[in-house]
Chain A
Amino acid sequence: AQSVTQPDIHITVSEGASLELRCNYSYGATPYLFWYVQSPGQGLQLLLKYFSGDTLVQGIKGFEAEFKRSQSSFNLRKPSVHWSDAAEYFCAVGPGGSNYQLIWGAGTKLIIKP
């Protein structure tokens, strides 16, 4: 079955420290992979995506992610976090069906310590 696992429900990081959020997926073929961010009470904003090609992808707000086929992972990284990065981060995989719906992880809440 297709699924996405984000093993960390919460992560606390000091401002200025580096960040890595984990995402593992189960999928029968080469997936399309996405990271979205959601601030409290808001919709989801696309950070970055991987469809094919270079396995290290750059996104907005200084984020990057690396696709590792052998590990079925697509971890999100940022070298130095800012207080404004505090939010919930969702990993998604597609297509989840014939109509390109996405399969979502449960999210990781990022808390920034001053």
Chain B
Amino acid sequence: DVKVTQSSRYLVKRTGEKVFLECVQDMDHENMFWYRQDPGLGLRLIYFSYDVKMKEKGDIPEGYSVSREKKERFSLILESASTNQTSMYLCASSTGGVWQYFGPGTRLTVT
């Protein structure tokens, strides 16, 4: 079974802090994704990566950056956290155009 894990289920950070969200998948998938989910807005794509060191902006990349140094790991970085980045963050991975496998999510609160 594909497993996608995220470093934390719940995280509380202060405004202005640098925040790292980590995602690891164990099935050698080339594609990895970061989404955020907000009530009434659905899942919105922040960034995705289709290979090591490759990244593409999604629909809402502002305020975020990503890093993919190894195939299995995709990190989302909030350079200076703000309250409007309080959200549920979901990581996913996929290969060959088949469906995406999602992690359990990280609920981030920025105070």
Partners in one complex: no
Q: Which residues of B contact A (CB under 8 A)?
A: none
